[in-house]
Amino acid sequence: MDDDYKNHLREVNQKIKPLTDKLSDTALNEIRVPKYFPEYLQFVQLCELKLKSARFDFYGSESDTVVYEVRRQIFELETASKTVNQSLSVIFQLFLDILKASDSITCLELLSTQIKDERQHLISTSDMAMQLPIQKCLSLEVLWRNAIVCSQYQPLDIQKSLQGHYFDYIKAGFPFEIIDGDNFHFQHTFLFESLMPFRNR
């Protein structure tokens, strides 16, 4: 390995280190999740409530109180998700910083490898088959899900920028999700806009 390549890897590692440090902190301390993943945590809660609502049967075996409470929570979360927020949550900001780097694809490759290594140290093989909390199932896919959800709270220029980065990510050959398998959600609008450049090729 020549010196130039070693130096480049060191530089890449320094770019992703602020994010990997926060992710490690989150994995070891679950109270960090609401602070580091506020929008994504809210999104997960909304998906769970919608799934619960969909299971209410036609014959009304659930009490009116339960149905009302679930629908009230869904309404509140959906209302909150439509509010534009100028501030960026910590993990989202650090991920955006990596995407803006000139060598972002290399950064994402190294980031993916480091997250996988960290997860293997923290989680047993048997636990990996279970539905894990956010802090225990961190991956590049979860970072993208978080970014997609967070971008919906941001001005249009940030949304467009993230869509462009996602297109570059897919074009580079990375696997990508059509359906968020953990939350059974299809990010239709984001995917449509992100994949649009392929239509013109």
Tell me what the pLDDT averaged over the chain comes to. Answer: 85
Decide if pLDDT at 80 tops 80. Answer: no
Instruction: Kindly state whether residue 7 falls inside one of the protein's structural domains.
Output: yes
84: confidence class by pLDDT, cuts 50, 70, 90: low
Instruction: Kindly state whether residue 68 falls inside one of the protein's structural domains.
Output: no
More confident residue, 143 or 126: 143
What is the largest distance, in Å, between two alpha-carbon atoms of the chain? 71
Instruction: Kindly state whether residue 179 falls inside one of the protein's structural domains.
Output: yes
185: confidence class by pLDDT, cuts 50, 70, 90: confident
Query: For the chain, what is the domain count?
Result: 1
Quick one: which of 91, 90, 74 has its CA closest to 82?
Answer: 74
Instruction: Kindly state whether residue 49 falls inside one of the protein's structural domains.
Output: no
Instruction: Kindly state whether residue 47 falls inside one of the protein's structural domains.
Output: no
Decide if pLDDT at 198 tops 80. Answer: yes
Least confidently predicted of 7-21, 39-53, 59-73, 120-134: 120-134
Specify the pLDDT at position 1: 60
Task: Break the chain down into helix, strand, coil percent, rounded to 5.
Answer: 70, 0, 25
Q: What angle do CA 124, 127, 131 make, to 5 degrees?
A: 150
In sequence order, the 6+-apart residues with CB closer than 8 A to the CB of 152 are: 39, 81, 159
Specify the pLDDT at position 60: 64
Q: Give the pair of three-digit tokens for residue 178.
A: 């059509």
CA distance 13 to 120: 19
Specify the pLDDT at position 12: 92
- Whole-Å CA distances, 184 to 22, 66, 102, 180: 27, 23, 33, 5
Specify the pLDDT at position 170: 93
Decide if pLDDT at 45 tops 80. Answer: yes
Instruction: Kindly state whether residue 176 falls inside one of the protein's structural domains.
Output: yes
Domain residues for the domain of 122 are 3-39+85-199
Instruction: Kindly state whether residue 77 falls inside one of the protein's structural domains.
Output: no
Report the share of the chain in percent with pLDDT over 90.
32
Instruction: Kindly state whether residue 127 falls inside one of the protein's structural domains.
Output: yes
Decide if pLDDT at 165 tops 80. Answer: yes
